Structure 1
């Protein structure tokens, strides 16, 4: 009898082993950042399902909606086993230096850039302080970094739990434990929505650990460490297609008929996007990306190194292009415009990171 899901064999933890680079994660990061740019160059913002242009953006948004869940999943795959390699103190020092300092700096960059792009007055001390305490209030993209800080705070707890399970349980029981943790992490928001009533003024997205994003980290780790048979992969792809359809068609229906229920299909933690992002990750994992030429793998590796910088820079470039009244503003130009902004971001980040202080503090 062939089992559908075959867990990895239990491993000895007597000594840390060198990590093998997962090329499919480079592919995921490269695709996800392009999708993030796509979400932010959209031209049709009002919800108007009767417009053909809106439907074009609706379809594109459905594909791009997986980007942020994929980033959290990749975080889980990369970091949930960190206790094998480094101490908690080292983990916090490295991660918070890489996230908190750029978060604060880029909030100020966006604040002062808006003097030109949005014709805002020169910021006063109150505005500067507000941006220091809640960076996402100045640039919408910075919410992800605030959420990531919250995830990092609780990540060691889950890292030790997974490590202990792997050491003390049979391989099959360990795999079940991983999936149980992933399920709990994703179901947790249902019981913790009251946390949103707090409406914190400092890092509004910091409550992310109890609103489900840690669940994406656990889900990614479970998918990465479970050998899925071909039958189960087909099931996941079918569910992913259903999730994508749920976002595109179900979301349009809810917007037209029940606007208050729109988050059921459109939030990052909605079931459609959980299914769609999971299918994308599994597809990349079992693709032949590991067999491509070393040159292609090297390009993906370099693009992955620029991903965080692209995330920080691209929205500013979009704002600058809009201020300059860049002519490509029709919906049929959205994909070329996305690729243009992505390419400009790649060049800008690559060039700026040649400056050591920028590479260390501003665009790590």
Structure 2
């Protein structure tokens, strides 16, 4: 997730990193000002493609590589697992969990147990899914290396049926699926889709059509989620990462972003942001919490209109997070937390 390529053919990878990190930050902006609920809902719907894009990008970058087990897991440990544990501890310390009796060996053990059990801050759930995919990646690589295109299409189609479609049926109809299909559950489909979609080229007319479809689906999703909240349908399916609509929006976004031409000047701007995207993802929750309490800034979270304030506050949180990450990455002892 964190290796920036200087190759012109992979400049779009940094674009996805930057846009994905920004959308995650924007999703966590707690705006309390004026504006239609539909506007804030639309921004939230847009943000739902961010994490699936990271999964797809990781699949594109990793599944076609050939590495010994030791090399692969050593790289993943340094770039993802170690920072994940460090920042899980940081969030535990930030919330002062377990500090009632002071520092002790029991506190250290309790922290380890808590981290193993689940994310210590909501956005850290991504790493539990990603680490699980990394453990499965060597097996997926064997499959990808030997699979025909038909094999790849079959797996992606099966995943789409078993995960988004079946969950749609079970959410809104009396139908319940009793078959054991765990082997194609979860986020594995995004991982494979990143690899498969990287095999195609698209015409300009196709891209225009996909852009129009993205706009249409995002508006429909916004309306459905708004209605589900208004009518108290008690469902989060329409904004679920594994819902049909979010899967389709993510696939379209991946294709469109991959095809955007990136000039040398634009890439010079994107590259450092891309290198910091992982760190931005890790630190932005603390940054936003501090900004919300900061004199002279806290008022911005209830000023103006949601139409422009939500993206502007997201941009502010993104850029402050970037500055912090850029500084940390220059300090040898600290950059282990944000490689």
The TM-score by the shorter chain falls in which range? 0.7 to 0.9
Normalized against structure 2, the TM-score is what? 0.82
Instruction: Tell me the SS of whatever aligns to 1:351.
Output: helix
Gaps of at least 5 residues in structure 2 are 1-5, 168-181
Please, which of 91, 94, 97 is the counterpart of residue 110 of structure 1? 91
Gaps of at least 5 residues in structure 1 are 1-17, 46-50, 166-173, 194-207
- Per mean C-alpha deviation after superposition, the further-off stretch among 303-312 and 330-339 is 330-339
Q: How does 1:108-257 map to 2 (within 5 A)?
A: 108-115=89-96, 125=107, 127-136=110-119, 138-165=120-147, 174-189=148-163, 211-257=185-231
Q: CA deviation at 1:113?
A: 1.2
Could you say which residue in structure 1 is the equivalent of 2:268? 298
Could you say which residue in structure 2 is the equivalent of 1:78? 61
Does 1:28 find its partner at 2:16?
yes
1:190-239: CA deviations, max 9, x gaps? Answer: 6998xxxxxxxxxxxxxx98533111111122111112344544453344
Instruction: Tell me the SS of whatever aligns to 1:22.
Output: helix
Could you say which residue in structure 1 is the equivalent of 2:284? 314
Q: Is the 8 A contact 1:353 1:363 kept in 2?
A: yes
Could you say which residue in structure 2 is the equivalent of 1:276? 249
Instruction: Tell me the SS of whatever aligns to 1:275.
Output: helix
Q: CA deviation at 1:135?
A: 4.8
Instruction: Tell me the SS of whatever aligns to 1:228.
Output: coil
Structure 1 pair 27/155, CA: closer, same or farther in 2 (3 Å)? same
Could you say which residue in structure 2 is the equivalent of 1:205? none
Q: Is the 8 A contact 1:44 1:53 kept in 2?
A: no
1: distance between equivalents of 2:35 and 2:316?
Answer: 24
Q: How does 1:85-96 map to 2 (within 5 A)?
A: 86-96=67-77
1:76-120: CA deviations, max 9, x gaps? Answer: 11111122xx212211121133222111111111111124xx9x8
- Per mean C-alpha deviation after superposition, the further-off stretch among 36-45 and 309-318 is 36-45
1:263-295: CA deviations, max 9, x gaps? Answer: 1x1101111111111111111222222xx1x23
Normalized against structure 1, the TM-score is what? 0.76
1: distance between equivalents of 2:118 and 2:91?
Answer: 9
1: distance between equivalents of 2:31 and 2:185?
Answer: 30
Higher relative contact order (CA 8 A, sep 6+): 2
2: distance between equivalents of 1:179 and 1:343?
Answer: 39
Does 1:329 find its partner at 2:304?
no
RMSD between aligned residues? 2.9
Could you say which residue in structure 2 is the equivalent of 1:48? none
Q: Is the 8 A contact 2:45 2:218 kept in 1?
A: yes
Could you say which residue in structure 1 is the equivalent of 2:179? none
Q: CA deviation at 1:155?
A: 1.5
Structure 1 pair 221/356, CA: closer, same or farther in 2 (3 Å)? same
Structure 1 pair 247/328, CA: closer, same or farther in 2 (3 Å)? same
2: distance between equivalents of 1:102 and 1:130?
Answer: 17
Instruction: Tell me the SS of whatever aligns to 1:68.
Output: helix
1: distance between equivalents of 2:20 and 2:101?
Answer: 35
